[in-house]
Every structure is written in C-alpha cells, then in structure tokens.
Structure 1
C-alpha cells in the first residue's frame, strides 16, 4: 500500500475513533435515562447520527491538521 494512502487511512481512522469517544461524551446522556425517552428507537438513531457526524468532522480535521504538520 502506498505511503500516502496508509497515512490518510490511519489518520482518518484515528480521528474517527477520537470523534466517536468525544461525540458519545458530548451527547446528553441524562436525556436517555428518563422514563419517557428510554427505549425509543428514534432516540438511538439520533444519538448514532450525532456521534457519526461528530466523528466524521473530527476525522477530517485530524487528517487536515496532520497533512499540514507533515508537509514541512
């Protein structure tokens, strides 16, 4: 595998993992523990989409920052 592709895939995967963790921590977890909202599929879909969108944004920012710092 060429070095640039390996570089991009590792940076995207690392950024996505960081974004998933941060997105899960940012999501208001107390909203899902109330009796009226727990167990509804819509809430889990919303949480999954929020975490995915947060993680994809962080991964692109992580890749852009890594490319900027490595291009010396």
Structure 2
C-alpha cells in the first residue's frame, strides 16, 4: 500500500477511535441529566458518537497533514 494511503487510513482510524471514546464520555456525563430517559435513546446515542467521531477523525487527519514534515 502506498505511504500516503496508509498515512490517511491510519490517521482517520486513530481519530475515529479517539472521537468514539470522547463522544461516549460526553454523552454519558454531559447530556443525560434525567434518569427517565437514560438508556432509551440508543439511536440518538449512536448517531451522536458517530458524528462526533467522524468530525474528530477529519480534524485529526488535517492536523497530521499540517504537521507532517517529509
């Protein structure tokens, strides 16, 4: 696999993993304030984590491309 494709896929996957972890923590600690809705909005939670992770992955890739010095 060419180095650029490997670089892009590695950075996107790493950023997505970081975004998933952070999105999950934000959802669990910050958004659910009432106990009546806890655990009932799985689709909303999944979409929130996915959108958070996809945004973080693109940002991580952009930052890595900006700071790469080769």
Which TM bucket (shorter chain)? 0.7 to 0.9
Residue 38 of structure 1: CA displacement?
Answer: 4.1
Q: Gapped runs of 5+ residues in structure 2? A: none
In 2, Cα distance between the equivalents of 1:24 and 1:39? 13
**CA RMSD, Structure 1 to Structure 2 (Å):** 2.0
- Report the TM-score when normalising by structure 1: 0.83
Q: Gapped runs of 5+ residues in structure 1? A: none
Extract structure 1 runs of 4+ deviating beyond 2 A. Answer: 28-33, 36-40
- Report the TM-score when normalising by structure 2: 0.85
| Number of equivalences | 69
